[in-house]
Chains A and B, each alone.
Chain A
Amino acid sequence: EAQVTQNPRYLITVTGKKLTVTCSQNMNHEYMSWYRQDPGLGLRQIYYSMNVEVTDKGDVPEGYKVSRKEKRNFPLILESPSPNQTSLYFCASRRGSGPETQYFGPGTRLLVL
């Protein structure tokens, strides 16, 4: 089954404690992205990757890092989380940068105290 998986699904942490949200896809897609969803702001892109070792900033990259060492995995790293990073996070993948269907993971709800 084609899917994007994220872990954990729910996370409560404290300010400054480094965390990583993992993302994996089994569709051999080249293009992967991270989004955050906030009330009244919709889905905003944090970072994206066009292929292994190729990453770039999206619209709201501050406070986040990513890496793409393997094609299937695209972890999101918060080195020093802050309360304004409390949000619902989605990983997504698609075959290329064209308008092909993008597949989303189930989401990770993060609360930073």
Chain B
Amino acid sequence: DQQVKQNSPSLSVQEGRISILNCDYTNSMFDYFLWYKKYPAEGPTFLISISSIKDKNEDGRFTVFLNKSAKHLSLHIVPSQPGDSAVYFCAGHTDKLIFGTGTRLQVFP
């Protein structure tokens, strides 16, 4: 039972443009959603989170949007930079973190 789904395994975006990574979930009990970024040969690192009572959270170039009625969240990166090339995992939190399958973002010059 995949409670958190990232249906796009990969995404390619030109430098300077917007990257939009999507995540769908089924568990209505999630109280927070988090995004983690992972570079090759490193562990995931925390990027940004959003409470389930909010619909938007912004941190610099990164904004996460939550649509509870659609059980959907998205991460927007504007402007995209080559250093953003990584695998991005979304996760839902109850008493533990449930991760999605990840989306590989490639930002090309």
Contact = CB atoms under 8 A, between A and B. Distances in A.
Interface stretch (A11-19, A38-46, A67-75): A38-46
A4 B43 contact: yes
Contacts of B102: 42-43
Interface residues of B, number: 24
B95 to A, nearest CB: 5
Contacts of A61: none
Interface size, A (range)? 20 to 34
Interface string B35-62: 0100001111110010000000000000
A106 B41 contact: yes
Contacts of A40: 9, 101
Interface of B: 4, 6, 9, 31-32, 34, 36, 41-46, 49, 89, 91, 93, 95-97, 99-102
